[in-house]
Every structure is written in C-alpha cells, then in structure tokens.
A and B are shown apart, each in its own frame.
Chain A
Amino acid sequence: MNLSFFDQFASPCLMGIPLILISTLFPSLLIPSRNNRWLTNRLSTLQSWFINLITKQLMIPLNKNGHKWALILTSLMTFLLLINLLGLLPYTFTPTTQLSMNMALAIPLWLATLLTGLRNQPSASLGHLLPEGTPTPLIPALILIETTSLLIRPLALGVRLTANLTAGHLLIQLIATATSTLLPIMPTISILTILILLLLTILEVAVAMIQAYVFVLLLSLYLQENI
C-alpha cells in the first residue's frame, strides 16, 4: 500500500510505445509555428508576447556574447513550463518527474557554461572560487567549499526540479485518496479535504511555473558568471 503511491511515476508502456515519448512531444503541438501573416491568430499572438517577455527578462543581464544563448534558454523555459503544466491534467504523465530527464537537461547545460568560462576567460572563471575580502587563513578552506558548491550545481538543478514536481504530485494523490475514502464515512471532513485539495492544486500550478523559471534563471546566472 505504501509503495503503490509511487507507481504513478513509472513510465507506462502500451504496445511497446512508452507514454513518456508522447508526453515529451505533445507540448510542441501547443506552440504553433510562425506563419507569414502580419496578424496571426490569438494563440500565436499570445505566445509571441509571452516568448518576447521571457527572452527580454533573460537577456537583460547578459552581454552580447550571452545573447547567443537566447534560443536555447527560451526554448528550455517554454518546454519545462508546458511539460509541468500539462502534468497537472488528470491521468497525464509528467516527464520532469523522472530524475534521468532532469539530469539530462541540467548537466550538459551547466557543463557548457563552465567550459565556456574556462575556455574564454580562465583566470576570471577560476577567480570566482574565492570571494573578495576573505581573510588569508580562510583561503584554502573557502576554495574547497566554493569548488564543492560549483560541482554540486547540476545535481541541485536536476534534483530541485524532480523533487518539487514529484512531491506535488504525490501530495495531490494522497489528499485525493483521503477525500474519496472519507466521502462515505464522514462527508463534512471530506468537504474540508476537498478545499485543501483545491488550494493544493492552485499551489501546484504556481510551483510548476516557478520551477521552470528557476531552472532557467539559475542557468542564466551561471552563464553570466562565465561569459
């Protein structure tokens, strides 16, 4: 009974085709490609506005070299946002609850920022390992600490996204189970639990959007240090 709550995160397979493939490709249907019209339909207009907003916010702190990253950061943001929000629909599967997928997104991008910094400005990149104004006896310890914090960044990025989404889905499932079990026994408590479920769902929508934003924001911060 305890372990069955985690079964929702197993990737179901039908006739050899895993659902994770469809769940990963489905967001692309919701983003229409640009056509050559001056006045597009409402969906395209809304999305163009939104993508412009994201790109502007991400690119303001970066210098000219950093603007090369605009496409990948914006598309990553849109991808994560759509996947997280689609996972809140009933019966759907959220690929970002799988640690493998989040690490596959986090490690290469973080490594790319690190290698860009080490290649183009090696001494400045290494200089980030020692904050200004540290007392001299503390320097060796601080360099070790900063190196550890640097190396743990991809792990933190991946695990943060996974843990937030998994915890949210699990909570929703637990409270929904409690609600449906309590309904024949104590209807008033069931109503209370339904209210909690409503509030939790609103929280989960917010968390889905915030986590996508945080992922991309942190990557852009790591990029700012290194480019």
Chain B
Amino acid sequence: GPLSEQRLMDVRLGHLPMWLAICDFSPQGLLGGVQKAWSSYYNKYINVKRGGPAGISMLLAGYCLLSYGWNYQHISKISFLVSM
C-alpha cells in the first residue's frame, strides 16, 4: 500500500527517511502509535491461549531497564561505587 500506511517493520530501509517525514507526530498521532504498539505486543505475547509468565516478565524487565536509564545520572554518582 502507500507509504504512510505501512508499519515500521514493513518499511524498506531506503524509504525510511521518507516514512519518518510522512509520519504523524501530533499528540493524537503519537498516542495512536503508542496504542498500536502496545496492542501488537499484547496480542502477540500476552493475549494467547496458553500464556505463561514470559509476556509479563518481558514487560517488567523492560520497565526495569527504562527506570535504570531514567536514573542513570544519579546512579553513576554513588560515592562508594564510583571507583569500581
């Protein structure tokens, strides 16, 4: 289909800058993008017939990594760990 309707994984590498230019960066557009990303993750890993702890664990691990990134500046300055 047309470039604006393709998802990120289907866009060819050469067309990537153009896709980024066409992309909708308004608040509604971003919110819609987040919604789409979340629902694809949810339907692929959590909303399955015989799900296990894996789907949620990946989400929680991602949350831990995000928190680490958010805290990095503060963590890097802890005095007794700086030398290590």
Which residues of A come within 8 Å of B, CB atoms?
1, 4, 7, 10, 12, 14, 19, 22-23, 26, 29-30, 32, 41-43, 86, 89-93, 177, 181
Contact = CB atoms under 8 A, between A and B. Distances in A.
Contacts of B20: none
Given A14-B70, A22-B66, A32 B42 contact: yes
Contacts of B50: 42
A86 B63 CA distance: 9
A10 B74 CA distance: 10
**Chain A interface helix/strand/loop/mixed:** helix
Interface size class of B (residues with CB under 8 A): 20 to 34
Given A22-B70, A42-B50, A92-B67, 14 more contacts: A4-B79, A7-B74, A14-B69, A29-B59, A30-B56, A32-B46, A42-B51, A42-B52, A43-B46, A43-B55, A86-B63, A89-B64, A91-B71, A93-B67
B38 to A, nearest CB: 7
Closest 10 CB pairs of A and B: A91-B67, A91-B68, A92-B67, A19-B70, A41-B47, A42-B51, A14-B70, A12-B71, A89-B64, A12-B70
Main secondary structure of the interface of B (DSSP, over half): helix
B49 interface: yes
A87 to B, nearest CB: 10
Given A89-B60, A181-B80, A32 B47 contact: yes
B21 interface: no
A19 B67 contact: yes
A4 B78 contact: yes
Given A86-B63, A89-B63, A89-B64, A43 B70 contact: no
A26 B38 CA distance: 12
